[in-house]
Amino acid sequence: MKLKDQVAIVTGAGRNIGEEVSKLFAAEGARIAVVDLDRPRGQHTVDAIKAAGGDADLFVTDVSKGADVAAMVKAVVGRFGHVDILVNNVAISDNKSLLEITEEDWDRVMTVTLKSQFLMSKHVAQQMIAQGTGGKIVNVGSTSGWQGRPRATAYSAAKAAIANFTRTIAVQLAPYNIRVNAIVPNKIGSPVGRDEFDPTRPVTNMLKRAGRPEEAAKAILFLASEDSSFVIGENLFVDGGTMAMDQTGT
């Protein structure tokens, strides 16, 4: 088992990538702090892990609020004893153009998608440093942060920020033996903020199919395990080759 006796916190763990990460990590021996604002959704993930013989607990938390994050990390340590891995997965999208998006839309997307990663990383890193045992942080970005889009203005800006946030805190936390990396997915599973996968959603990649949440989960497992012991500060594209293609059609 690649994560035996380790404790992982996964945000947005009630569906899609977060759910699959939680279940895969548990299968690899980790104990999982399932973090989601939606209690029934989060409990569904916890129940699935326990049914498979794993250990998990639900922590209903608004990860956009510092006090709530601090309390949650303390509760996780109280329940499991320590924290070894953080997966910053939670995000929402505006799906609006510059001329459509409101200030309230912008603030909400930035707060949930970007600020949550700052708050979670800060409080979990403080705990990891106090433990003195190092750790791993994996952020979930998006190809939306690497190219222009006709919509999703705030979401694209937030995901672009995550790319360099990942590099920056990788530099800052490396002296404490905390490795920070990110994955950069494209159209994996259900759209951001939705429960159901839409098979009609257009996909442009080399594999000519949508990605599966478990494929993103396996990439995150790689970055959270010792398989990637010499990988740090990287944005790993898990996009079916989308960003390697000529998007202009020429």
- Pick 30 or 191 by higher pLDDT: 30
Active site residues: 155
Q: Which domain holds residue 68?
A: 7-244
CA distance 109 to 102: 11
Measured from the Cβ of residue 167, the count of other Cβ atoms closer than 10 Å reads 17
Q: 139 near 117, Cβ under 8 Å?
A: yes
Instruction: Work out whether the CA dihedral 163, 66, 92, 188 comes out positive or negative.
Output: positive
How many structural domains is the chain composed of? 1
Q: Identify whether the C-beta of residue 207 lies closer than 8 Å to the C-beta of residue 241.
A: yes
Average pLDDT, the chain: 95
Q: What is the mean pLDDT of residues 204-223?
A: 95
Q: Are 59 and 76 in contact (CB under 8 A)?
A: yes
Per residue in 158-203, pLDDT (tens digit) is: 999 999 999 999 999 999 999 999 999 998 975 665 556 566 667 8
Nearest to 136 by CA among 29, 1, 3, 237: 3
Alpha helices, DSSP H only, in the chain? Answer: 16-27, 39-51, 66-80, 103-109, 116-131, 153-173, 213-224
- 183: domain CATH number is 3.40.50.720
* In a domain? residue 177: yes
Predicted confidence (pLDDT) per residue in 60-77, tens digit: 999 999 999 999 999 999
pLDDT value at residue 187 = 87
In a domain, 2, yes or no: no
Measure the CA–CA gap between 180 and 169, rounded to whole angstroms.
Answer: 7
For residue 169, being part of any structural domain is answered with yes
